[in-house]
Amino acid sequence: MSDTMLAAIVARLSPEPGEEERRIARILLLDWLACLAGARTHEAGALGGAISSAAWEKATYPGNALGLSDRHPASGISPGPFIWPAAISLPSAGMQQRLDAAIRGYEASIAIAALFDGRDTGSWNVSAAAGMFGTAAAFGSLIGFAGIEYRNALGNVAAVAGLLAPARTRDVLTEQWQTYHAVRTGRDAALHVHYGATGSDTLLDGEFGLIAAMSGSEEALPETISDWAIAGVGVLPVMALQDAENLADRPDAASVSDKVRHLTKFGELPDEEADKAIGLALESDDVAALDNLLQRWLS
């Protein structure tokens, strides 16, 4: 039995993902690209293009600006806008490395969110907190972390992960800023551990830990899970983009391809850009072409 909640989460990151998980990850990558395309003309898209020259950082602002990103129904979070920027942020990483990084990022995010299951989290933004852990796990996977390094990085995330939920009735970009902050901070937590930083893996636990601070009570985490959590992530089909009741539990390539075609038009991109995105996400290992597509869309 793992000695801390964080150690139990890190244990889930050790196995190598299988081809089925990578297939699902490719579909969720395509879904994320669809969301980026649709938000190109949104003010968040314009701001993302101004804050950085790096595509992964630019993508933090528009990733869920339209509220159309993937969802994990059991935990209530939308991991994709946090996970994918980190998973594509190392140019030298190949496609399988990026897919595996995303799978581990989804795993960490959903595991953290599960700790709040059924708890009143009040004004805390659980999606952003969980996303910060996920980005650290994803980038740690990219740079070859072992278990102790994951524990150090995620422990340091636990020290800073509490974020207040923005008022959704106000037309502001606080939620997009929190996404940027979570991705940047989670990625930096992993990078700093790579260079020698250490962290505590006890900060989720006990009456003064993060879980108690954000929910008022502690929640035990199951020691074993039979499947990777990414298998439980759903997407909004194109015909029900604003209707969470129609969330697809098992997203398929055809429905998400339709979503890309719809949202590239909405984002004023040429029709051929949708076909390029579909091919690159679902079939190709050409990460340079994928990175170039992101730079075009986010400029």
Closest to 63 measured CA to CA, from 168, 155, 175 = 175
Boundaries of every domain in the chain: 5-298
Buried b (16+ CB within 10 A) or exposed e, 4-24: bbbbbbbbbbeeebeeebbeb
Q: What is the pLDDT of residue 198?
A: 95
Tokens representing 54 are 């790096």
Q: What is the pLDDT of residue 201?
A: 85
What's the rounded Cα separation, in Å, for the pair 81 and 117? 21
DSSP letters for 107-131 = HHHHHHHHTTTT---TTB-HHHHHH
Tokens representing 97 are 């490395």
Q: What is the pLDDT of residue 172?
A: 85
What's the rounded Cα separation, in Å, for the pair 137 and 13? 8
Q: What angle separates helix 126-142 from helix 95-114, to the nearest 10 degrees? A: 150
- Measured distance between the N- and C-terminal CA atoms of the chain, rounded to whole angstroms: 48
What's the rounded Cα separation, in Å, for the pair 280 and 152? 34
DSSP letters for 48-94 = HHHH-SSHHHHTTTTTTTTS-S-BBTTTTB--HHHHHHHHT--TT--
What's the rounded Cα separation, in Å, for the pair 107 and 103? 6
Structural contact between residues 234 and 246, judged by C-beta atoms closer than 8 angstroms: no
Q: What is the pLDDT of residue 223?
A: 47
* Identity of the residue numbered 173: L
Q: What is the pLDDT of residue 115?
A: 81
Q: What is the pLDDT of residue 4?
A: 87
Q: What is the pLDDT of residue 299?
A: 85
List of the chain residues with pLDDT < 70: 1-2, 117-122, 167-170, 207, 214-226, 238-250
Q: What is the pLDDT of residue 224?
A: 45
Tokens representing 172 are 């502001």
The yes or no reply on domain 5-298 and CATH 1.10.4100.10 is yes
Buried b (16+ CB within 10 A) or exposed e, 239-257: eebeeeeebbeebeeebbb
Question: CB count, 10 Å around CB of 194?
Answer: 16
Strand partners, 164: 124
Q: What is the pLDDT of residue 75?
A: 82
Tokens representing 228 are 């990777």
What's the rounded Cα separation, in Å, for the pair 115 and 110? 9
Q: List Cβ neighbours of 216 (8 Å cut-off, separation of 6 or more).
A: 119, 120, 122
Q: What is the pLDDT of residue 34?
A: 96
